[in-house]
């Protein structure tokens, strides 16, 4: 029974330590941010931050991240009090179509901005290259990340 520190709180999750972190987060902790996309570390929908670094939770076992700080989309902000990055995705210019990939995109962008607060467009694009979007909203997401980077 792994013990996970998620968004600042510690939880004992009932599954096996070998089970994917994604299922512990979604099914046991009932978090909606990380998404199942491929289970193969190919699409980025399941991204979470572990000690600030982007990690694909579909191929990471829950036991492997015990004791580390796990941040999910919910940990960035709430409906009532969204983070600047989340706010930048909610403007008149929709930064998505369906939004299924948005969890991974926002968390990958968060890791980028934490490391490089004023990235160029090319740097944002490169950082997001491992996140797949099928709706074709890539340019809108890049603009949203750049908008967030300009906010104080």
The answer to whether the Cα torsion of 41, 44, 45, 46 is positive or negative is positive
- CB nearer to other proteins: give 50 or 59: 59
Q: Strands, E, within 90-132: which ranges?
A: none
User: Minimal distance in Å, beta carbon 150 to other proteins?
Assistant: 18
Largest distance between two CA atoms of the chain = 45
In the shown chain, the binding pattern of residues 105 to 144 toward other proteins, with x for contact by CB under 8 A and - for none, equals -x------------------xx-xxxxxxxxxxxxxxx--
Helix (H) or strand (E) holding 108: helix 102-115
Q: Strands, E, within the chain: which ranges?
A: 3-6, 9-12, 47-50, 53-56, 69-71
Give the count of beta carbons closer than 10 Å to the beta carbon of residue 3.
13
**Residue from 57, 60, 86, 149 binding other proteins (CB under 8 A):** 86
Cα–Cα distance for residue pair 115/136, rounded to 1 Å: 27
- CB nearer to other proteins: give 36 or 68: 36
Determine if 96 is a binding residue for other proteins (CB under 8 A). yes
Give the count of beta carbons closer than 10 Å to the beta carbon of residue 94.
12
In the shown chain, the binding pattern of residues 11 to 50 toward other proteins, with x for contact by CB under 8 A and - for none, equals ----xx--xx--x--xx--xxxx-xxxxxx-xx-x-----
User: Minimal distance in Å, beta carbon 66 to other proteins?
Assistant: 17
What are the residues binding other proteins (CB under 8 A)? 15-16, 19-20, 23, 26-27, 30-33, 35-40, 42-43, 45, 72-74, 76-79, 82, 86, 89-103, 106, 125-126, 128-142
């Amino acid at each position: 029974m792994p013990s996970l520190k998620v968004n600042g709180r510690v939880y004992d999750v009932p599954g096996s330590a070998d089970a994917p972190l994604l299922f512990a987060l979604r099914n046991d902790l009932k978090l909606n941010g990380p998404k199942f996309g491929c289970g193969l570390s190919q699409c980025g929908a399941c991204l979470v931050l572990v000690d600030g670094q982007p990690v694909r939770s579909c191929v990471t076992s829950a036991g492997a991240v015990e004791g580390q700080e796990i941040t999910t989309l919910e940990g960035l902000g709430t409906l009532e009090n969204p983070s600047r990055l989340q706010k930048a995705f909610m403007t008149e210019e929709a930064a998505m179509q369906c939004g299924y990939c948005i969890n991974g995109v926002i968390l990958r962008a968060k890791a980028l901005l934490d490391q490089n607060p004023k990235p160029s467009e090319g740097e944002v694009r490169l950082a997001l290259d491992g996140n797949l979007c099928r709706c074709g909203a890539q340019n809108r997401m890049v603009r949203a990340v750049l908008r967030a980077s300009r906010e104080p």
